[in-house]
Chain A
Amino acid sequence: MRIVVGQGSCGIAAGAEKVRQALIKEGFTAPELTIAGCIGMCYLEPIVDIYDDNGDVKRLVKVSEMDAPKIAEYIRTGNIGLISDLLVSEEDAQFLKKQTRIALRRCGIINPEELADYEKADGYSALKKAVTEMTPEEVIEVIKTSGLAGRGGAGFPTWFKWNAARQAEGDEKYLICNADEGDPGAFMDRAVIESDPHNLIEGMLIGAYAIGAQNAVVYVRAEYPLAIKRLKRAIKQATEAGYLGSNIFGSDFSCNMTIKAGAGAFVCGEETALIESLEGHRGMPRLKPPFPAQSGFWRKPSNINNVETFANVGWIINNGGEAFAAMGTEGSKGTKVFAVTGKIKRSGLVEIPMGKTLRDVIFDIGGGIKDGKEFKAVQMGGPSGGCIPAELIDTVIDYKALGATGAIMGSGGMVVMDEGTCMVNMAKFFLDFTAKESCGKCVPCRIGTTRMLEILKRITDGNGKEGDIELLEELCYGIKDGSLCGLGQTAPNPVLTTIRYFRDEYEAHINSKNCPAGECSELIEYYIVPEKCKGCTLCARNCPVDAISGSVKTVHKIDTEKCIKCKKCYQSCKFDAIIKR
């Protein structure tokens, strides 16, 4: 019997550590009581898995520390009735069952702090195979066969980068892992490092072997302390076990690994800016060419891949490139992890084969929209990505097909929006992010994004002018064309796609000073429908500025002059008598 408490950052934030402490009080200790990383069902945290001796599992969800006595009692008595309210529902279980997990295959299952757990789950077998049975060229060939493409955003073929770095002249080469996961709403990289750090180390070592690097660096954002802690521990374990260091598996291949904590700049996800930062400079992109494969870290040939990319490598070596390539579409192979958030019923990490549709992710796995609202759009790829409207819900998950919509696969962030989301406001939100994160080097990005933001602000404030949409479009194309790096080149995407699919919403803001989604507070007012108001006084009591008048059992009225549009009345009314207009 084993009790496993899911302890990724998200689980801990939801109270997993308190649950574990409560279970300790009930008398459970290691190895019986143990931890795992993140299973990816954010909306059900904290999660406790109870394995019986046959390996069957009872999954308990939304567990609180108060539940510990019940759980203890169940374990002693086997009375399932005690925990029936905690058992994951069949419907929720589908969230995982419908996924195909490769990168996340061990996440939430093994203990990320124990090397032995990893080894038991085939750990380091792929590295052994690569180093002892394959030449670096053969490794690159397998990766080429697999069709693995960069999972960080750009989707560049991994083998090509590896090959370029392998071919580059120089004895000293570097392999770098980009774990600067900066897209708001994306957290799959964190989940991999927190839940399966050795998988990243193994994938990186195979990459280092392939390109001939003696040094590997993981650039992790400093905002991921748990990931850094677990990765540090894993590097120490791997070094002690001989997986890292000199003559790995008795071969000529030697490699060290270090961690560099990033200082929190989004632009450091751009590979040349990341290198600048690694070298101790201000994180600003370099002009390309030369590409890092020729001149990267310390001007030596370097290869940079994202965490999720490396997380697939071990599996590919063990199962063969063909097995990976068997999944997906003509141009996009294998699986992709999505971090699904927003107005969706079941939020979390979803790994599915390429070729599935957005509908599969949002409705089949994610369960559709919360609170019975209508699905409006999904923002794919974070602030660099674009917005895909409801009518394109059947778009296939494929680099090319997603690109055609104006969005991108990106790192896999998916923010789901319902009818209550104003698309202009949404575009403003993402642009605000990129404008603040611009490194300041090139003019179109540094000044252009701020000018765009100013225009969007005036539109959502009801001060939009005729010609603003065209001005935005001109700026969008100017910034895309003129920016130095990916940050600027993609920053206009949320604006461009929302103009493309929701131009009427922009026009409504500008021409009729109206926000159709009812979200822009400058453009709406709250109104009490007299026919529906019961005179319960709840709204008046909730109003912080005494803008609502009316006595018991009489129709209430909002003084729009006083109203600060805090939404409290709207949320408190039990009779849906308060509307936005």
Chain B
Amino acid sequence: MNYIKLTINGKEITAPEGSTVLEAARSAGIDIPTLCFDGSLEAYGGCGVCVVEAEGIPKLLRSCSAKISDGMVIHTESERVIKARKIAIELIMSAHDGDCIAPCQLACPANTDCQGYVGLIANGEFKEALKLIKTKIPLPASIGRVCPHPCEKACRRKKAEEPINIAQLKSFAADLDLKGESYLTEVKENTGKKVAVVGGGPGGLTAAYYLRTEGHEVTVYDMMDKMGGMLRYGIPEYRLPKKVLDSEIALIEKTGVKLCNNVKLGKDITLDALKTQNDAVILAPGAWKSSPMRVKGEELEGVYGGIDFLRSVIKENSVDIGKRVAVCGGGNTAMDACRTAVRLGAEEVYVIYRRTEAEMPAEEIEIKESKEEGVIYKFLTNPVEIHGEGGKVCGMTLQLMELGESDASGRRRPIPIEGKTEYIELDSVIMAIGQKLDTSDFGEITLNDRGNILVGENSFKTNIDGVFAIGDATNKGASIAIEAIGEADRCAKVVNAYLNGEKLSFTQPYLSKRDEDRVDVSDREFQPRTVAKVLEANYRRNCFDEVSLGLTAEEAQKEAQRCLECGCREYFKCRLLNVAQRYDINPERFAGEMPQEYTHDENAFIERNPAKCILCGLCVRSCRETEKLSVWGLLGRGFKTEVATSFSLPLDETKCTNCGLCVKLCPTGALAEKSALRKQVPLKEEYSLQSVTVDGLECRVIVASYAGKVLRVIPDNENARKIDRNKLNELFIK
């Protein structure tokens, strides 16, 4: 065979005469992306992604078909090539209607694979669900109870009736794990590197946990006498029993994280000392100071800050608040405060909120349950003065309000109604209107204009090298626990890279997302949401017992079945996404009509969604050229061209033998192999090539498994494609 010399990206290579540019490049280890190409089929040239530039040739070449010639000088990543590829990819993505990952996961600040664990729960794989959760959240039983679940707000099931009860499903899986032999993650070999984490709240503990699993020696310092931070001292017992938190913290400790309580930074230990004793320091001190209201009378005895009040109750079990209590604020801390006040025996508990119920940031369920417990709401009122007698609270004047124009947050702005006030008699006032970082302890750390620690958005770096910071104490200030956990997870990765002498900064890679306006769930059967039973209001208002009784296994599986499976089944092996993430693309600029309906079609082995099809033609061509069947064909012209079965028949009525070749070649999730799970779940499978003899034929198959369980068996040679799929499945799927 004759060999030809050519240059690709400045590298001189030789390749057999008659090779294509793509073959020559790949043989030299140079990767050129392709979507519509497969070595077993004739080159097609449809996707336009494999283009390269050849010196002296004015047009870009499609490397899948252009043959090499002597002395050719090829550039596979030149500016012109990248521009052409980007525009091709952007156009493809603009007409590719699908979600790479589900909206619930995207909405979770910790990027928890909600669809994954909900799906596993639906299949009864409770342990696997818990393991999946723990890759993102080390405190799932606690978080499942307290999280305001942004995932559920994004859940598309709400368009049909109500969102999936994701939060309770999470605590269900976690509780089950705590009751049995609890799962302990693997810890890598010791690296010899040391990390100090200041603050043992959800953020600090999470960062410690993930850095420990990487093999680093991690110590958590906390000023309180127990770990848990706001989860312990800011959340009342009836919402999160402390024994649940204790069990979860104990599991973290079991991985080898050292926990040091009653150590306050700036008092018991200095930042300088931590720095010299460790290779990296993560500050996660939280925001422990209640924000003042700047109302006259705030200094009176009987006026408490929201989190100060909750902490005192948890630490000392009781606070003397009298019989008449007003809680100012409309958030979750206000809810915790008012419901705690009820439990302390207060007879009249008011919530003072300057807008209406519709604008309250607190969870709906909290409002509902607090009302059941007898809390009185005074909407459209605002405290103007707290009155005292002998230095002690005796009442409060409220300004009556009305709603005006919408403000920047989209909520209608409350405006005082001139001259209209109301007076209520009170014994104490709890001001739950926000919390701030106690800044006295941080020395040389640079703060922002809000008084929070200033850190890089994705780097978590403070102004001091080796010192990182996360959570409520940083940048925008206090937020929800899952936000701190997400930051902690990302920060752990950054710090791990830092300890290994690498640089890492987070950028969100491109993901395909469906336009919510196009989502139609009208074909879904009505299935109400399953919610865990709760204690009777009359019983629970007198004690601190956990209100929620949790989901039973049966309830959990039923609830998880409701999941709409928004995220793409093929996310973990999608070639299209792989190509799309290769360059910095912006398909949004070409947003417009979608060529195909988002539909679902399936037979026993294959699922099909034409909306995700990119018309690479691999299915059509492989069925025609390799299998000589022509089950698939192209229909229509122009933008609306589609892949259709012969005579648009259902797959089972065509000549399809379920050989799986088209599915294997499909670069997207337009065609997918069904898995052995009852509820289909996108999972990061492991693949192995195996050979078996069936009916005297040597069959090669790709075996896809998850957590040791075989989920799919995909024929990988001509013999295997001839065998009945049920037979192949029986051999591997138990």
Contact = CB atoms under 8 A, between A and B. Distances in A.
Given A451-B592, A481-B84, A443 B44 contact: no
B61 to A, nearest CB: 11
Interface in B404-448: none
A422 interface: no
Contacts of B243: none
A2 interface: no
A447 B641 contact: no
Contacts of A448: 87, 91
B615 interface: yes
A229 B518 CA distance: 50
B637 A444 contact: no
B636 interface: yes
Contact of A451 (B91, B615, B638): B91
Interface in B57-71: 59-60, 62, 65, 67
B87 A444 contact: yes
A524 B43 CA distance: 50
A449 to B, nearest CB: 8
Q: Which of B65, B67, B592, B638 has the most CB of A within 10 A?
A: B638
A444 B84 CA distance: 9
Given A437-B637, A438-B638, A446-B641, A287 B87 contact: no
Contacts of B639: 435, 438, 440, 446-447, 449-450
Contacts of B589: 471
B181 interface: no
A450 B87 contact: no
Contacts of A437: 637-638
A454 interface: yes
A440 B615 contact: yes
Interface string B37-50: 00000011111110
A467 B181 CA distance: 61
B516 to A, nearest CB: 20
Contacts of A454: 592-593
A440 B638 contact: yes
A245 interface: no
Given A450-B592, A475-B87, A481-B59, A443 B47 contact: yes
Contacts of B49: 443
B647 interface: no
A313 interface: no
A394 interface: no
Interface in A2-26: none
B142 interface: no
A441 B87 contact: no
Contacts of A482: 48, 51, 60, 84, 87-88
B732 interface: no
A436 interface: yes
A447 B94 contact: yes
Interface residues of B, number: 37
Interface string A433-468: 001111111111011111100100000000000000
B91 A444 contact: yes
Contact of B95 (A439, A447, A474): A447
B94 A282 contact: no
A440 B95 CA distance: 13
Interface in A336-369: none
Q: Which of A450, A475, A482 has the most CB of B within 10 A?
A: A482
B539 interface: no
Contacts of B634: 282, 284, 440
Contacts of B84: 478, 481-482
B642 to A, nearest CB: 8
Interface string A481-493: 1111000000000
A480 to B, nearest CB: 10
Interface string B576-590: 000000000000011
A440 to B, nearest CB: 3
A471 B614 CA distance: 22
Interface string A264-305: 010000000000000000101001010000000000000000
Nearest to B641: A440
Contacts of B636: 440
Nearest to B64: A287
Nearest to B92: A443
A447 B590 CA distance: 10
A478 B94 contact: no
A438 B615 CA distance: 13
Contacts of B638: 435-438, 440, 446, 449-450
Contacts of A483: 48
Interface string A157-186: 000000000000000000000000000000
A287 B44 contact: yes
Contacts of A284: 634
A456 B304 CA distance: 63
A580 B610 CA distance: 46
A442 B95 CA distance: 13
Contacts of A451: 91, 94, 590, 592
Interface string B616-639: 010000000000000001101111
Given A435-B639, A440-B634, A481-B60, A287 B43 contact: yes
A460 B590 CA distance: 17
B51 A442 contact: no
A446 B615 contact: yes
A569 B88 CA distance: 47
A442 B592 contact: no
A482 B59 CA distance: 9
A441 to B, nearest CB: 5
B43 A441 contact: no
A339 B589 CA distance: 39
A441 B617 contact: yes
A486 to B, nearest CB: 12
Given A435-B638, A437-B637, A482-B84, A442 B45 contact: yes
Contacts of A436: 637-638
A93 B48 CA distance: 53
Q: Which of B62, B589, B592 has the most CB of A within 10 A?
A: B592
B641 A450 contact: no
B637 A265 contact: yes
Contacts of A438: 637-639, 641
Contacts of B83: 478
A447 B91 contact: yes
A474 B589 CA distance: 12
Nearest to B59: A481
A443 B593 contact: no
A484 B84 CA distance: 13
Nearest to A480: B59
A435 B636 CA distance: 12
B87 A474 contact: yes
Given A287-B43, A440-B637, A447 B92 contact: yes
Interface string B634-657: 101111010000000000000000
Nearest to B615: A440
A451 B94 CA distance: 9
Nearest to B636: A440
B218 to A, nearest CB: 49
Interface string A515-533: 0000000000000000000
Contact of A443 (B48, B60, B65, B80): B48
B62 A287 contact: yes
A197 to B, nearest CB: 30
A421 B696 CA distance: 73
A475 B94 CA distance: 13
20 contacts: A282-B634, A287-B65, A289-B67, A435-B639, A438-B641, A439-B637, A440-B636, A440-B638, A441-B46, A443-B48, A444-B87, A444-B88, A444-B91, A447-B95, A451-B91, A451-B94, A454-B593, A478-B84, A481-B84, A484-B62
Given A447-B590, A451-B94, A481-B60, 16 more contacts: A265-B637, A287-B44, A438-B638, A440-B638, A441-B46, A443-B48, A443-B615, A446-B638, A447-B595, A449-B638, A450-B639, A478-B83, A478-B91, A482-B48, A482-B60, A484-B46
